[in-house]
Amino acid sequence: MCRIQGMYSSELSAADDPPVGGHVLIVSAGVGAGHDGAAVELARRLRARGVGVEVRDYLEALPGWAGRLLRDGYSPIVQYTPWLFEWIFTSLERRRWAQSVAAWFCGLAQSSVRGWVGGADVIVSTYPLASQTLGQLRQRGQLVDPVVTFLTDPAAHRTWIHPSVDEHLTVTAATAAHAAAHYPVSLRAVGALTEPRFRDAVESGRRRALRRELGVEGLPVVLMSAGSLGIGRVPDTVDAVLHHPRVRVVVLCGRNGRLRQRLERRERVVALGWRRDIPELMAAADVLVHNAGGLSFTEALVAGLPAITYLPIPGHGRANAAVLAEAALAPWPTCPAGLAEAIDTVCAHPRSRPAARSVLRASTRPTSSSTCSSGPRWDAQTRRSPISAPPEQRQRWTHGGMVGRW
C-alpha cells in the first residue's frame, strides 16, 4: 500500500516515476460533484502509473430507495429545510441513536461492496458513508484488503472516520489537525486531488480575453461558487457582494437553471451554468466566494485564488467554514460590510501559487491524537457544534474524553 499512497501527492509526475502495478477499487458517490471529482482524478493518476483502477458509485450498493434518498434528498433538504440538515449533521456527530441508525443504513451496502472488492490491493473511499461500510467490513474480518479514506471536506466528521479504516488522508494539515483534536486516529495531509489544469498558469492574454468575453474587464471580479447543484442562499450572497460598489460578480450556478435565470437579469452580475473551463474562470477572477468549502475551494487553493466563505450551507458547509477560518485559509465574514472588507483585503494582495503549494505540500509525519482526553470534546449540552459557528461566535468548549463510542 505504501507505493500506491504516493499517487495522492498533488506534485505527482507520472513520467518521472516507475510503474507501480496492482489494482485499486475507488468508491465514490454521485452526490454533488466533489466526491466524484476526487475519485476521477485519483483514478487518472493511478492509471498513469500503470495501476488498474475500478471506480464504483456507493449509491448503487444500496437498496433503490436508500440510494434515491441520498441522491435526490440532499439538495432539497439543504435548500428548503436547512435547520433539519444541520440537526442531522450534529446528531450524527453527538447522538448515539443517530449513529446507530447510520450504522444500520451503511450496513445495507455491505453485501454489494463486498462483491466489488474482487482482487483489489487497496480500496479507497472518497465518500463518508462508503468509509463507514468499508470500516464495518474490515472490523468484522470480512475484508482483508487495506482501506483508505480520502476526506474531501476541510472539516472532519464522525461519518468520515472509522477506527478500522487503515488510513485517513486529507488535503491540508489544517484538516489533519482538526481531526486529531477530536478523534483517536492518525491523519496525513497529502495534497489535493484536482485536475492538473488548476496548477497550470493561464496566460495573461487569455485572462484578459476571458474577462472581456464576460464583460467584466477593468473591475475586481468576484467568482461565486455554489457547487454543482447551485444550492444555498446564493441570491442573498449576491446581494451582499453587490454592497461593494466596485466589483463585478460571476456566479457559477452549476446545474441549477432556475437560479441562473433568476440572477442573469441583475446588474453587475454574470450568471453561468455548468462549465468545464473553471481553471480559466478562476484565472480571470480576483477572489472566490464559496458556501461549502468542498471541491471549488480546493481548486481555488491549488490555483492560488484567494477564497472567502459567506453564508455557508448548513452542516458540513458551516463546519468547513470554521476550520478554514481558524487555519487562516479563508475568512468567514458574517455581514455585507465584513464581506466587502474581506474582498478589499484579499484583492490588495497578489495571487500566490507558491503559497498555495506550501499549504498543500504533503506531510511526511501523521498528525495524531495520542489519547482521547488530549483534545476538546463535543459538548452534548451545547445546541450548536463548536465547529459550526464563526470564530467570533464560537461557544466555549469543555475538555475531556470524546463524547460517544465507536
pLDDT for residue 357: 58
Q: Let me know how many helices (H) and strands (E) the chain has, helices first.
A: 16, 14
CATH code of 33's domain = 3.40.50.2000
- Classify residue 231: in a domain, yes or no: yes
- Both 131 and 231 in a single domain? no
Query: What digits encode the pLDDT tens for the residues 281-332?
Result: 999 999 999 998 888 999 999 999 999 999 999 999 999 999 999 999 999 9
DSSP 3-state of 396: coil
- Classify residue 154: in a domain, yes or no: yes
Q: How does the average pLDDT of the chain come out, rounded?
A: 83
pLDDT for residue 219: 83
pTM score > 0.75 for this model? Answer: yes
- Classify residue 401: in a domain, yes or no: no
Beta pairing partners, 225:
252, 290
Query: For the ranges 24-33, 148-157, 164-173, which has the lowest average pLDDT?
Result: 24-33
pLDDT for residue 389: 44
- Classify residue 399: in a domain, yes or no: no
**Rounded-to-10 torsion of CA 229, 235, 237, 241:** 130
- Both 346 and 249 in a single domain? yes
Identify which of 30, 34, 38 has the alpha carbon closest to the alpha carbon of residue 59: 30
- Classify residue 404: in a domain, yes or no: no
How would residue 210 be classed by pLDDT, with cut points 50, 70 and 90? confident
CB atoms within 10 A of CB 9: 17
pLDDT for residue 397: 25
pLDDT for residue 350: 63
- Both 77 and 138 in a single domain? yes
More confident residue, 55 or 368: 55
Pull the grid cell for residue 136.
464495518
pLDDT for residue 225: 92
Q: Which domain holds residue 341?
A: 201-353
- Both 217 and 182 in a single domain? no
- Classify residue 149: in a domain, yes or no: yes
- Rounded to 5°, angle at Cα 137 from 135 and 138: 65
Helix (H) or strand (E) holding 236: helix 234-241
More confident residue, 341 or 218: 341
- Both 211 and 339 in a single domain? yes
DSSP 3-state of 248: strand
- Both 151 and 31 in a single domain? yes
- Both 214 and 270 in a single domain? yes
- Both 277 and 342 in a single domain? yes
Percent of the chain at pLDDT > 90 equals: 64
pLDDT for residue 313: 95
- Both 241 and 295 in a single domain? yes
pLDDT for residue 45: 96
pLDDT for residue 399: 26
Angular region, 90: left φ>0, alpha ψ -120 to 50, beta rest: alpha
pLDDT for residue 358: 61
- Both 383 and 283 in a single domain? no
Tally of domains within the chain? 2
Identify which of 30, 80, 74, 20 has the alpha carbon closest to the alpha carbon of residue 51: 20
How would residue 227 be classed by pLDDT, with cut points 50, 70 and 90? confident
Q: What is the mean pLDDT of residues 57-85?
A: 94
- Both 177 and 263 in a single domain? no
- Classify residue 246: in a domain, yes or no: yes
Residues in the chain: 406
- Both 8 and 155 in a single domain? yes
Is residue 86 pLDDT above 90, yes or no?
Answer: yes
Beta pairing partners, 271:
251
Residue type (1 letter), 194: T
CB atoms within 10 A of CB 280: 18
Q: What is the mean pLDDT of residues 158-171?
A: 95
- Classify residue 326: in a domain, yes or no: yes
Is residue 106 pLDDT above 90, yes or no?
Answer: yes
Contact 140, 75 (CB under 8 A): no
Is residue 381 pLDDT above 90, yes or no?
Answer: no
